Amino acid sequence: MPHLRFRAVEFDTVKALSTELVDDLQPLMSCPREDFTLEHIPASFIFDGEVSDAYPFVEVLWFDRGQETQDKVAAVITAAVRKAVDNADQDVAVIFTALTATAYYDNGQHY
């Protein structure tokens, strides 16, 4: 935990940005590196019955750390994706889902 899910970002791009991104996020989130999970999710996007291009979409599942930290994390993720795709103007969506510690289990035990 935290868990980052990437859509509309190539697998190799997620691999390439993963180390530096976790390096940048780890002090903001105050958790060990080994607690981070990055997931690449292949996805197809559809609009008006046609396959459409989509801009990078990153979903962050985490224990809420407050608005100030969330804003900083969103900025770091956006900058990392833009750098990785080599486009400073790339639209990037970052969406946070706050999890409840009592509903998150590791090895049968909740936090």
The band of 111, judged by pLDDT with boundaries at 50, 70 and 90, is confident
Structure confidence by residue, pLDDT tens digits, 48-96: 999 998 999 999 999 999 999 999 999 999 999 999 999 999 999 999 9
Q: Can you tell me which residue has the tokens 């396959």?
A: 51
User: Considering the entire predicted model, what is its pTM?
Assistant: 0.93
- Cβ contact 77:38 at 8 Å: no
pLDDT digits (tens, 9 = 90+) for 17-38: 999 999 999 999 999 999 999 9
Residue with tokens 């530096």: 20
Domains for the chain: give ranges and CATH numbers: 2-44+55-104 (3.30.429.10)
